[in-house]
Structure 1
């Protein structure tokens, strides 16, 4: 009709978390592509840059104007700073590592944030690790993202978003010049931007999970646990209930797709929960997700199949570890992953041979009567230094298999 059009984006990071949940259990390649798309969505929603420039860049086009005069960020520009030094630091880091890495990994290195991936590559020993520790991971992600927009950096889509330096980026690094970057947005959930013409609407629900349903599920868990004389976490963990509040499972097969719920736990504790969810869905006319993840009972890696088969044959755990070139801690990690996926394992034969009966009983009683969660750290603090951590892990596995699964 020739009149002005207005586009308003409703954004909540909880929705991103919900979509990440739905990707669990899908093939790795599909998960990587999905995560990359979600990261692009977050970057667009939380960016302070010109939205027209961001959109055109995403589709491989350039927009040379500094201000489009139409989007919220151009109508109400945020504070800028000279990012010459920061961009040089990013480029120096990318050149100093022999392989390419994703944006968040590079940001973690610069901010000095340690995680398993950082340690596995020994990147916590890099000279540049923590070189930008006066800034947050989010700040460095914003710098890298603006480097992509300015074509100083490049993202390899075919390689799931690995970051490299362009020829223009190398020229900038060799002959730096003032580079005005926009400070990252301090995005607060549910807050309206006071200086926006139209404003970002506050979140009105539909976040990571259905809070009303989650509250009802927690009440039901409390009553079930009390009736059965169990700790609440034994029935279903908080993570399991949160998944239920997102996926609305109404059958045993759908319930098994929730985190930490296997065949045994679903049938042992699940009936009242799926009945409650089914009634809630019907009464509130809720559209349930139709893309349920098909999750196998256990990840059929060679190690896991080997471990399950040989525990069934009552082979010593030490021999199983040796056969797969694992130390005992690594083997226990594998066994715990199997058990937490819902598979029962009988390791009584090994426990009886290696741990004193009184010790077993003390640890078992702790998890049955006193523990507020399955936390190993909490267990060690409560039980004290007289108890070996490996023994506690073994008895915890026994308890989970006998009571929880």
Structure 2
């Protein structure tokens, strides 16, 4: 068997693995069922693509989207690896040829949807093939506790029963411990070796801004990102079209993408975005899974996502090339009410509704947090943050001033204790502010000692403070469908005078409209001199021409990171060209002469 390191260099042009890749590949090559959780951009695909070369025979890859299959197949074929996608959109003659190639052992990787995979005809076809590995990509789709649950993924449990001796590797970018357990159980790989990479995307800047005048906010942000690729996620189909239309009127190359558009239109928009003929896509969550575009410089959430998992995965589509990128979320309490109403009218079971509302509350807590956002995300996925302050989120770069808030904290905790049963933040706030609303009268809360004792503070201030008291453990939040605030032992200690409490000094939902600094520079070398920049631009022009002729995205020829290294090092022969990161043997043969010619010409002119 050829060593994995040799294949990595030969086909992908890299001399070392990313974190966890080598261990995951080693587990698969030992024939062990494996679960791999790796952040977007962490190199999940390599964890089954490279073993497919080592093991020989056939690797079956279950993938949820035809567009995702096409991107991976095109990329593998560009590297000289024979891969095909088997789906309903192909012509009969193409399908017949694939079936013949399978029987003759010519195909190394076969991509298929979960629906197609479990059809009797397809199973009969692959039973006759020398299957060496089964890979389930985007495996979170199998769990009803995940954020993109697809019932058809549940059928994949049969694969392990039909092919018990074939190792199965399940991969996803986002899965909390509960979802990881469900993935293994549903796939029948309870003894799987589990590898969980870091969820810390250091090159991403996280920001939450108050959603006032969102169109102005959006235009202000985009003015700093002229000609850069980005995704704007919206809650509704109508909103995607309105935002895209408004941006086009202002000269931006933007298009809408949602499930209500025809397949042809969706394909055209996605291809245009990947090939850089469309700069901005305004989309619902129907867009993005598996989008392998490295140079997305920003992801904007025009509305609040339903879950932290979906938010993390969607923001993860930014900065896959490792360069600084921004993730901005426009937040308002009104959007929470909209999402809650949508969930309550979604005809789901009471059990699933409670789980969905709990996840929405977790997303709300992220938006209203006054501590490090990166730390919040890492903690959510079970990872401990190495730093108290990340310097790459708005809360760390513009921390809220804190004062001794013991007195307002005691007011709040006393109010919660005095209530005969638990209530939510809004009612507690109304009670403290002396509101005359119907709920206060109906429950006769205006007779309580706490009524009107905190008129001097605003609703927004109370919301911030109560959330912070929950975070610090002086109060507790319980319930799923209806969230309520209750007492804790630590809160009792506060009332006994045992603690002093630091609280935010200003009214703050922690949603700044101030301009945050860019993320920290990526570790990769960048083009710095005018001489190198000129060559880099010439190489990009050559790449664009080659990509257009081949009908593939430019990054499939070479990514920007590789072009920058070429511009800096200037390889002028085959051997030195092969030393560039991202240049494999197939690509040096296919593209090397043209790029070397441009490099030589630029060097001679210098």
Task: State the TM-score, normalized to the length of structure 1.
Answer: 0.41
More strand by percentage:
2
